[in-house]
Amino acid sequence: MLKNVCKCKLTNSYKLEADNVADPIWCTTCGWNLDIDEFSLQDDLKNDLFEWIDQYKKIPANKHNAIGQNLTEKVKENLGSKCRVIFIPQNY
């Protein structure tokens, strides 16, 4: 799992950050936007992530951040203890 998903190859540190035009998982080392399909995430979690991205800037920022924090915990559970995942809250 997780081989060569990032151009810097240091693939155990990620951040969850919403963006209108990109998948929500990024490498914290080089800032590369990662293809969410490269991760072994449960389908319902993937759906939740895309739904969350879809609602970005359509729901209040504090609500967006609360859901994002919750999703970050689920991503962590899916990826296991070798991966570090942080959440980047947004203000808008």
Give the binding site for Zn ion (CB under 5 A).
6, 8, 27, 29-30, 32
Q: How far is the CB of 12 from Zn ion (least distance, A)?
A: 10
| For Zn ion, the closer CB: 29 or 78 | 29
| For Zn ion, the closer CB: 4 or 81 | 4
Q: Is 18 helix (H, G, I), strand (E, B) or coil?
A: coil
Look at residues 39, 38, 30, 34 and name the one whose alpha carbon lies nearest to residue 10: 30
C-beta of residue 16 within 8 angstroms of C-beta of residue 75 = yes
Q: How far is the CB of 23 from Zn ion (least distance, A)?
A: 14
Q: Interior CA angle at 63 toward 82 and 73, to 5°?
A: 15
| For Zn ion, the closer CB: 17 or 64 | 17
Look at residues 70, 60, 5 and name the one whose alpha carbon lies nearest to residue 37: 5
Q: How far is the CB of 33 from Zn ion (least distance, A)?
A: 10
